[in-house]
Chains A and B, each alone.
Chain A
């Protein structure tokens, strides 16, 4: 009874209790929902911009696209450096059902070396399944054709092309053009230091030497990019925006394919260099260093065997003899010294000396010998140059003194870089008191000036410096900056590259300059002139000066016998010249290593070049 009553009382109380708890529970539920909503508000409204940005960063990737490298043309528009497709065999693992059998089937069609296959399989494991991976690079045309014909059998296998530099003339332009190769760590650091690195995000190659290096910035162009949407695995979903790359500028050279070919043909295996230049503006017309090598070897990565062969060859093909070869100028600088003599009134055009076959300094026993053992007898300036009398210049040099010589020749460009548009250049040596003190820690002796006066001893020059110094005479004191590139072009315009001439020497008496040019003219024109034989029958009016640089020291009273000494110690043959005499459009410098006399060896080479120059009308358009 009691129990029942309590139960009945409880029934209403229990309902109230439960309802009370239900209300509390609902309040808590609503409160927690409010917390969720507040949190959503924080995320979606307050921090919206932040998360929006992060969401865009997730999905949008920028894919850089390399620009096409600018082309290089010769003076008549013949292509010297082009971009050619190279083919590689690429596989997309995702699309290949049975990798081993596919590889086996491909191996039946084209040759696969096990090393390549192993590295390919390694890549397959490391890379995303949808990425294309190269199985074999540098396919030849036959291999490309075979794969193309069997394409249908291999889904996921394709031949991919990418552009690679190619030099169609092989070794003909190597030392001028240089070559490109893969960007290395040091170059990358340099690009970063220059702030250029972002522009190279998609580029593989960079100019290593020559014009390719000097004009890297112009040739490279501006990177393009694509903004693409990617998923969480980096797979491309769609392209959102595309900014095309801007190709590098094309460069146009003053070089002429015909002149280069002539230079290569006449030099054959002769070590040496030929450079021809327009003295009026410094545009280089011929630039050939022999022996040369094929720059295409370097573009796709040279094998160590090939590289060692080039590096250790006794003929030093990697040396650019036009700008890096430093030779004693020998008698080729006699006109330059004579000019100094005239301008300083040290001599006059009619000054005569007696040449007994040697020169002696006062109070010194040593005989400085003339190349003509018995001497030239009475010699004036004309004879001293046309027959290349050494004694005349020994005496002149000693009278001028080292300081005046060093200063004047320095102005002509000796002893300093010409500023030509390749970086592989030596400055040569124009000795001076200061130079000797710094280099040998010795004072300058008068005895040092004597051999210097015939372009021997410490004095060394590059063939290009000789051409520049000769141009200074032709230009009456104005020095051109030699340059291979004469113009840049892109789709819109062609912009000429014409560095100004630099006035370096003040003319004292213009007649002196004409006298010097006249002596060089007579060297070619007059019977008995040292370059006369070489130019007999030429259709144009040339002038020049020969030089024979002695490399082996010859004992007093001993006779130079070419056959008796080591071939590598034989005389260097040198020649400088220009034409036409009355209005020079071309100046030429030739240096031949261990070839013998300049008149009999270097001058005929120059003759061939000039013959081609005039017969083909190389520079006649301006």
Chain B
């Protein structure tokens, strides 16, 4: 009994603040690793380090704050948040239209704000809310409504134009439907529909620069000084790192700036060059641990809404990791996705930490609710 008490007091300090120990440890390890790499990738830029640390502090605070909110509250606000997000997307479109140019953000006076960041959280939450109001697996018409809920913001963001973000948001919503247990037959059917839709996307919806990115991805050497430059230099950086890397701060591709966007989207190439395959394996292990822990939290969550939201966030986080590494190492076309929690800057870091905060909330409020 005493033993149990001792154990529970240690846990209670964390549980008191609704923080998942293993997850927060994993996140801290990843963030620290990220800061060490950023110091090198930024060319030992102290100002950049300060900025990143401040942003991390804010993001951590947001995470802890969101972890305190009860799942019921989150669930109740899912739909309203979604609707507000949609309204803001329309507003951005109007402002952008008036400004006669592509626009992704709203100028609130004191800061520039991207409504699409809200939607990264709001879309899966709202879809999960809708699906969870009914029993699982969802019926066809539930799925149809869910798809429509995904499609509306996706299209609004796609016309901004921000194809990368819009696809990620659609993916987050679709993950909810997948985790909810939609039948494999439907999954296969929809997958074939999307494949058929791709040429339409290519011809009618994609801008020239987006098409160019895909073409460059397919054959980067065709344009070594133009759009292929990024991917060629990135692959050189990765390949020349070898097994154990050129050494911290010793990467010639990164330090001499042959590698473009070295501190943002292409920071993975810096890790590969300076720390080699071994450093990459450490990074991947950290990511896999975080994803695994989040998935465990999801499956242990108390209700379907919590499970679906946590599961969707987890898989979306993985997609970020995979898309970034894939594009930097030449497996995928170049889309502007940062390496989560490692790349410099961006509101995406706050959004990601907010998602982890929500996952913690969904995971840690379970027992307290279940106790009575």
Contact = CB atoms under 8 A, between A and B. Distances in A.
Contact of B304 (A14, A41, A47, A231): A14
Contacts of B180: 18, 21
B239 A43 contact: yes
B295 interface: yes
A33 interface: yes
Interface in A425-446: none
Contact of A41 (B135, B137, B277, B298): B277
A21 B179 contact: yes
Contacts of B298: 18, 22
A312 interface: no
Contacts of A40: 238, 272, 277, 280, 329
B256 interface: yes
Contact of B256 (A18, A52, A237): A237
B256 A51 contact: no
Interface string B293-336: 00100110000100110010011001000100110011100000
B230 to A, nearest CB: 12
Nearest to A237: B256
Nearest to B325: A36
A55 interface: yes
A43 B235 contact: yes
Contacts of B252: 55-56, 58-59, 229
Contacts of A55: 236-237, 239-240, 252-253, 258
Interface residues of A, number: 43
A148 interface: no
Interface string A46-70: 0110111011101100000000000
A25 interface: yes
Nearest to A21: B179
Given A25-B295, A26-B295, A237-B256, A43 B238 contact: yes
Interface in B236-269: 236-243, 252-253, 256-258
B292 interface: yes
A17 B135 contact: no
Interface in B133-160: 135-137
Contacts of A110: none
B96 to A, nearest CB: 34
A44 interface: yes
B262 to A, nearest CB: 10
Nearest to A34: B284
Contacts of B288: 29-30, 33
A22 B179 contact: yes
Nearest to B235: A43
A47 B322 CA distance: 22
B276 interface: yes
Residue of A14, A15, A35, A41 with most chain B CB atoms under a 10 A cut-off: A14
Interface string B58-96: 000000000000000000000000000000000000000
Contacts of B136: 10, 13-14, 17-18
A35 B284 CA distance: 12
B291 interface: yes
Interface string A576-606: 0000000000000000000000000000000
Given A37-B281, A54-B236, A237-B256, A48 B242 contact: yes
A43 B329 contact: yes
A6 B135 contact: yes
Question: Which bracket fits the contact residues of B?
Answer: 35 or more
Given A18-B181, A37-B281, A25 B239 contact: no
A269 interface: no
A51 B238 contact: yes
A502 interface: no
A9 B243 CA distance: 53
A303 interface: no
A22 B284 contact: no
Contacts of A21: 178-181, 311
A295 to B, nearest CB: 45
B258 A51 contact: no
A39 B287 CA distance: 17
A59 B252 CA distance: 7
Contacts of A119: none
A29 B318 contact: yes
Nearest to B251: A55
B139 to A, nearest CB: 13
Nearest to A54: B236
Contact of B284 (A37, A43, A58): A37
Contacts of B322: 32, 36
B146 to A, nearest CB: 15
A185 interface: no
A151 interface: no
Given A39-B331, A40-B272, A229-B256, A52 B137 contact: no
B239 A36 contact: no
Contact of B239 (A7, A15, A33, A51): A51
A27 to B, nearest CB: 11
Interface string A223-243: 000000111110001000000
Contact of B299 (A18, A44, A45): A18
Residue of A43, A50, A56 with most chain B CB atoms under a 10 A cut-off: A43
A233 B241 CA distance: 22
Nearest to B311: A22
Interface in B191-209: none
Given A52-B239, A55-B237, A232 B258 contact: yes
Contacts of A538: none
A19 interface: yes
B243 A58 contact: no
B179 A18 contact: yes
Contacts of A48: 239-240, 242-243
B37 to A, nearest CB: 16
A41 B272 CA distance: 11
B298 to A, nearest CB: 6
B331 A36 contact: yes
Contact of B329 (A15, A36, A232): A36
B136 to A, nearest CB: 4
A45 B277 contact: yes
B144 to A, nearest CB: 20
Nearest to A58: B258
A463 B55 CA distance: 91
A231 B262 CA distance: 14
Contact of B242 (A10, A35, A52): A52
B322 to A, nearest CB: 5
Contacts of B179: 18, 21-22, 25
Contacts of B299: 15, 18-19, 22
B275 to A, nearest CB: 11
B256 A47 contact: no
Interface string B94-106: 0000000000000
Contacts of A29: 288, 291, 315, 318
A252 B218 CA distance: 65
A36 B329 CA distance: 8
A390 B197 CA distance: 111
Interface of A: 6-7, 10, 13-15, 17-22, 25-26, 29-30, 32-33, 35-37, 39-41, 43-45, 47-48, 50-52, 54-56, 58-59, 229-233, 237
6 contacts: A13-B136, A17-B137, A29-B315, A39-B330, A55-B236, A58-B256
Given A14-B135, A18-B181, A52-B242, 12 more contacts: A7-B135, A10-B135, A10-B136, A18-B307, A21-B179, A22-B298, A29-B315, A33-B287, A40-B272, A40-B329, A45-B277, A229-B252
Interface of B: 135-137, 178-181, 233, 235-243, 252-253, 256-258, 272, 276-277, 280-281, 284, 287-288, 291-292, 295, 298-299, 304, 307-308, 311, 314-315, 318, 322, 325-326, 329-331
Q: Which 5 A-B pairs have the closest CB atoms?
A: A51-B239, A55-B240, A17-B181, A231-B256, A14-B136
